Amino acid sequence: MLAGRLRLRAMSFPGADAEMDLRGNSKFRRAFTLIELLVVIAVIAILIGLLFPAFQGVQDQAKRTQAKNDLTQIVTAVNAFYTEYGKYPVVADDTQIAVTADLFYSLRAVAVGANFGNAVNTRQIIFMSPPDVKDADNPRSGIAAKDTTVNGIATKTGELVDPWGTPYKVAINGTYDNQIANPYSTNGAGSDPVGQGIICWSFGKDQKAGDNGDGKFTNSDDVISWQ
C-alpha cells in the first residue's frame, strides 16, 4: 500500500516519467524532445564545419609530403643510374622530357618502350619500384596502367602520377654540364639555371604550373625537387 502511494507521488512530477521501487529509489525515464534533437544535430553540424578545413589542410600537407618523397626517389634513382652506367637514361640534351614513361620503364627495369629488350637498363637493375595506381581510369599516386585524360590532363601508360593525378615533370642534364634551365625562373624558385643533373616537380593541387597569380613561388602549391 505504501509502495503504491510512493509510486503515485513520484509520477506526479511534471515532465518526468518516474517511479519508486520498494526500496524508495527513484527511476527516471525521459526521452529527447524534437527541439533538443535538432539542437544536437545543429551543434554536430557546426563542429564538422569547424573541423573540416583543418582536416582538409592535413590531407593537403600529407599529399605534398608524399609528392616530395616521390621527387626525392626519382632524383635518387636517376643519379644511381648515372653512377651505374656513367650516363643518364633516355636523354640527349637538357630539354624537359615530354613523356616520362620511357624513363620510368628504364628505372624500373621493365622491358617496354625505349627499354624494350632492356636496351637502356641492360643490367636490369631496379632503381625504383613505385606502386601501380589503384584506379586505372582516375590515376593517383603510382604508375599509370593505361592512357587516360582526366580534367584535361593527359597521362600516358607507364608514367608516374602524383597524388593529385598529374604526371611528374622531369628534366635531366643531357649535355652533362651540370646546368638545367629552371622552369620557375620568373618567380624566385631557386637559381637559374639549376646546378644539378636532374630536376623534377609536381603541379600540386591545382594541377597547373605557376605561382597562383602573385608572382611569388612561396605561395604556389607546386612541389619541386631542388628546394
Point out the residues of the chain with pLDDT beneath 50: 1-18, 22
pLDDT value at position 209?
Answer: 78
pLDDT value at position 24?
Answer: 55
pLDDT value at position 104?
Answer: 97
Domain ranges of the chain: 61-86+93-98+129-224
Q: Give the contacts of 175 (CB within 8 A, at least 6 positions apart).
A: 93, 94
DSSP string, 45-109: HHHHHHHHHHHHHHHHHHHHHHHHHHHHHHHHHHHHHHHHHSS-TT-SSSSPBS--HHHHHHHTT
| Count of other CB atoms within 10 angstroms of residue 205 | 18
* Strand 26-29 to 17-20 pairing: antiparallel
pLDDT value at position 49?
Answer: 78
pTM: 0.76
List pLDDT tens digits, range 151-206.
888 999 999 999 999 999 999 999 999 999 998 887 778 888 999 999 999 999 88
The x, y and z cell numbers of residue 61, run together, are 600537407
pLDDT value at position 216?
Answer: 66
pLDDT value at position 208?
Answer: 81
Distance between CA atoms of 118 and 125, rounded to whole angstroms? Answer: 10
Distance between CA atoms of 198 and 32, rounded to whole angstroms? Answer: 65
